[in-house]
Structures are given as C-alpha cells and as structure tokens.
Structure 1
C-alpha cells in the first residue's frame, strides 16, 4: 500500500487536492466501466493525468488500469461517489471510491455485488451507512482518519486496499483515456428505501402512482405537518395562522411574517443558552431540550418563508421548503423516517417537472 503522505503529495502535484473523485473497480473492463459512468468508449482520447487539472469544468473522466483494477479519476466532479454509478460497477468487481471537494465535503464508499456495503463522510467516520456498515473496518486498520493534513491520501490508500489498485509513479505516467460523460439518472428509490414499509400505505402509494409536478404541493404540506409535529408546534397560534395565510389581508400577512421572524430570532439564542448548560454526555443528543428549541427556531423560520411567498400578493401554495426543514428533522423515529421519504419523492417529482 502506498502511504497516505505520499498519496497526499501526489494529489498536490496533480492539482487535485481541492476537489476530486477516485473510483477503482477490481477486475473491471475499461469499456464497461466507461459505459456505466455514462460515457462512450469510442469517443475516448488520450490525455496525461497531469493535464486533468486543466479540465475543471465539464463532465470528463480519465480512465486507466492499475494492476487488477480499472481506475476512474474526476476533477471537481463526483459521479463516482453516486450509488447509481457505484452499484452497477460493483457487479463487475468490488468497487471503492473516495470523493472530496473544496468545502471539505467528502465520501468514502465501498460497493459489492450491486449494493453499497459501507459509506461515510471522512470527517465524520462514526456515521456509517450501507448494507454492511462495518465492511470498511478491516481495510482501514492503521489509517489515521484524524490526520486532516493527509486525509484524502488516507482515502486513496483505503481504495488501494479494497481493490488492489496502486496510485504509483508507473500508473501516473501510464496511458489514460479521457471521455466526456452524461450524468447517469438518479434512482427513483435507492438502496435502503425500496423496501420501506412506508411505500405500502397512503399517501405514499398515491405519490408513487402519479409522481410528478402535481404532487409537489401535497408533499410540501405533508413535510411541513411532520416538522410542526416534530417541533411540538402543531397547535402554536403562529403555525395555525401560517396555514391560512393566503386568506389573510395583506397587512395581516406582513405582521404574521414579522412575528414568525421574531420567534425564530428569539428561539436561536435560547437554544444556544440551553446547550451551554446541558451536560456534554447527554444522550441521545437530539433529545436535548436545546435541540427542541433549535428545531422550533428552524420551523419558525420556514413558516416565515411560507408567509413571505404570499407577499405582496397571494401565491399558489407553499414554496419549496423541504431543504430548509432538513436541519429540524433530527433524531430517530417514524416521523423522521417519513419526512426523509417525502423529501426523496419530492426531489424525484421536482425533477419530473
């Protein structure tokens, strides 16, 4: 295995230390890998690895072989981190990828036999997802994921261990094929969702039967109702008023928005003050009293967005609020699980618009 320090230096030399994705498929066929990334093998052209830094924009992949593995490198793109690419690739052989960007968002993924076995954010390795969450563990022995100076190098070392690839000098100097790719469509229901019991009852049966733009409003209201319940605000006068904001006079809508904004602004410092006084070992964290107040602050802010959508004149329904509600839907339980399913289907319906 190449050392993380050496691999981190390699990334600096190649100009890929800020944003890149490296994907390796053990025993894969280059042309098949290119097709599964959304490319056409007949449109490949030679390109040196060090020239990839010049292709910051666009969907370009660089494909080559290293030992038993096919390697795909992307500059400032992340297609190799997506399950829609990783899962089909893994049917050709064990597949691993590491991704990072300029905002230090990252992902280390291992896929086998058509499933994501284990995937996690490298800055939060305790939050692991997949069919076998512990699948990465034996491959990470001896790698320091707390060494931020060499973290992406550690990710590359893990990919080497998983697939037999070697990011050495001979690979760097060897032949590489460049090809433009077209984004592989997202799964309607990805791993972990397709077998959910939620899909066997309403309103999810109706969502799936007619998934499209006409369902965006019902889904937004569904998500808002879940968030109000999760924040214990369903009966709050400001929440009740918001749900009928379209019937209010314009000056009343202005006052309601101001009241909601004030409630948001008051709740945030209260949440911070509570957090300071709570024991650090309070478990689970999302059941802290401070977290409830924080969720309420987020929801008040979202309600203010809903009212603002009716200013200066009435609007048709709710704005797109689901991404704003995400930070309010912390914790476990049926309500949180239901929200994430609604959000997933809402995104699919929006793509169909």
Structure 2
C-alpha cells in the first residue's frame, strides 16, 4: 500500500468527513486566514465536538475550523467549499502560497494551488490531466512523485492529493485534531466572485470595452450603483425585446425619479401584473419557441421590478439575483448579465464593510 493511502485510511478511520474542503495556507495567524476566507473574526470560538455539532445545526452558512501547524494554517470546512474558489485562493495566497483539496458527496471535486495571489494550477479529480491556471505544470514534479494520474481510483486520488498538501507545506494533518477542540469561525460574508470571470478574458469578450461597461468596470464602487442598475434594466429589455411602453417608464423613473408620490409603487405593481399574465400565457402555450419567448418576457419584467427598489445598490442586487434564472438565448447577453451581477455583489459587500 502506498504510504499516502495508509495515511488516508488512518484519517478516514479517525473521522475525516466524507465531504470536505481542506486548505493549507502559508500564514500562521489564524485570524488573518479567517479574514482572507471572508469569515467574521468576531465569531471566533474555541469549540469541542459537541459545540461544533451545535454550531453546524444552528448555523446554516459555512464554518471553517482552523489550526496552526508550523508556519502554516490548516483550514477544514466540513460540507464547505469556499477554499475551492479561485477568488478565495487568490486571497489566501496573497503573501505566499495556498493549496486546497475539495470533494463533495455529489462527486464534485477540485484541487487548486496558488502563489502570490495567482492560481497556478487547478484540476478536477475526475480529470487530473486537464489542468488549467497560470502555470498548469506547476505541480507536475509532485504529482509524478506521488503517482497522481487518471488511472487511480477516487479514494487513491483523494489520498494522494491530501499527501500533496502535506508535502507542499510540511504541515502534517494530525488525525487527533478531528476530535480535539479547535478554533471555529463563521463565514458570514463570502468573498464575491471575480467581476469578470477568467473565461471572459481569454479571448476577451468585446462587450467589456463598450463605453458603458468600461465606465462601470473602471469604478465598481457604490457610487456606480445607479449606472449598474440602469444597465441591468436596459440589458434585459433588449434581451427580451420588450416594446411595451412600460419599459420606457421604468428607464425614465430610474433617470429622473418619481413625478408624484406613489408612482414607483404603482409601476412596480403593473410590472408584477404583466409578469404574472405572461407566465399564464406561457403555460397556456404549453411549449415551443413562442412559449419560451413569453417566458423570457416574464423574467425580464420581474427583473425590471427589482430595479425599482428605492436604493440603487439594493435595486441592482435584487434585480441581478434574478438574472441567472433568465433563459437567455444568446451567450454574450448572458455574459453581460453575469458581469453586472458580479459588480452588484462587490458593491453590496463594500457597503456592508462600511456599516
């Protein structure tokens, strides 16, 4: 048996979760690592197994368990995944290195290695040979040494990747830690996704350089919330091809505000009525292109309703949360909405940080 497999069996027998995200961070300050994860440092708690079980039952968001080993911090997130996200790995490795292994009960998985804020290589356990990143070959010598390849079984891959984290850091995972008291933090405000997904940059999506988008991307701050909100509105109007005068009324109100008390609410009520009528019409059509077109209109009207919240940042957030449910026929248009949603998330996070 390979030594890594024996170590994995020991960890499994010791209570290693079936689903987890385990991250090694080259930073011994536990509070700093928690902060880079997007955790609330004030939520720090020294917890035993019973307390951890209560926290997992009561707290629905993600918890991370941290321990310092030498000059590294080991972060365990049972049932979590934050360490598998590129944005988090970039944050964790900002002043050094970070390595993460993630797998879920649904067979999702990710292995990621980042240095100085850049993800060097990442891959899925199901496709080890399909590595991506700034330097996909960054871990090749270690993978060869441990015999990591597509030919291994899933448990073997899991074992070898945990061994890889230990080899990179020199920080051995202590089996007894799985049943020992430890520091636990709540991730109350996860790091937002990158404003522009990497896939949109290679090749670069042309819409990113359109004047309105370029202006938003140059300053994705709370001050840009009205422009983001209006851009969401004009984008969904164009996608759905809405010619009803109600679309123009929405844009006018966003530009100049209410002409009389209650105008905003009256317009929101009309949008909901028209959206409900479109949904009923789509159902009556049963299916096919026309039904899809009417559903698209219903989605767009619901998103326009969100843009009419009085506060622009909250309006953009409310509207953008609905864009992923919109079945957009054109991929480029969908990409536009994703970027606008990501800008909105960054704006809301900045506002929360200021409160």
Q: TM-score range by the shorter chain?
A: 0.5 to 0.7
User: Number of matched residues?
Assistant: 287
Q: 1:305: which partner in 2?
A: 295
Q: 1:46: which partner in 2?
A: 46
Of 140, 144, 148, 1:143 maps to 148
Of 122, 125, 135, 1:122 maps to 125
Q: Which runs of 5+ in 1 are unaligned?
A: 225-241, 264-299, 330-334
1:76 deviation in Å?
Answer: 1.5
Q: Is the 8 A contact 1:302 1:324 kept in 2?
A: no
Distance 1:75 1:190, change over 3 A: farther
In the alignment, structure 1 residue 217 sits paired with structure 2 residue 233: yes
Distance 1:167 1:117, change over 3 A: same
Alignment of 1:1-353 (within 5 A): 3-4=4-5, 6-7=7-8, 10-11=11-12, 13-14=14-15, 16-17=17-18, 19-26=19-26, 28-39=28-39, 44-48=44-48, 55-57=55-57, 58=59, 59-141=62-144, 142-145=147-150, 146-169=152-175, 172=178, 176-186=182-192, 189=195, 192=198, 198=206, 199-208=208-217, 210-211=224-225, 212-220=228-236, 224=239, 243-244=241-242, 261-263=287-289, 303=293, 305-309=295-299, 320-322=322-324, 325=327, 339-340=334-335, 342-349=337-344
Q: CA-to-partner distance for each residue in 1:185-235, whole Å, 9 max, x for gaps? A: 32553674789574433342244364433332333456x4xxxxxxxxxxx
Q: Which runs of 5+ in 2 are unaligned?
A: 246-273, 306-318, 349-355
Q: Secondary structure at the match of 2:125?
A: coil
TM-score using structure 1 length: 0.63
1:156 deviation in Å?
Answer: 1.6
Q: Is the 8 A contact 1:26 1:165 kept in 2?
A: no
Tell me, in whole angstroms, the C-alpha distance in 2 between the residues paired with 1:132 and 1:29: 28
Tell me, in whole angstroms, the C-alpha distance in 1 between the residues paired with 2:10 and 2:53: 15
1:72 deviation in Å?
Answer: 0.8
Q: CA RMSD in A?
A: 4.3
Q: Is the 8 A contact 2:16 2:178 kept in 1?
A: no
Tell me, in whole angstroms, the C-alpha distance in 2 between the residues paired with 1:49 and 1:115: 35
1:116 deviation in Å?
Answer: 1.3
Distance 1:26 1:317, change over 3 A: closer
Structure 1, 199-208 or 135-144: larger mean CA deviation: 199-208
Distance 1:3 1:54, change over 3 A: farther
Tell me, in whole angstroms, the C-alpha distance in 2 between the residues paired with 1:23 and 1:178: 14
1:132 deviation in Å?
Answer: 1.6
Distance 1:36 1:133, change over 3 A: same
Tell me, in whole angstroms, the C-alpha distance in 1 between the residues paired with 2:169 and 2:345: 37
Distance 1:257 1:153, change over 3 A: same
TM-score using structure 2 length: 0.62
Q: Is the 8 A contact 2:66 2:183 kept in 1?
A: yes
Distance 1:302 1:148, change over 3 A: farther
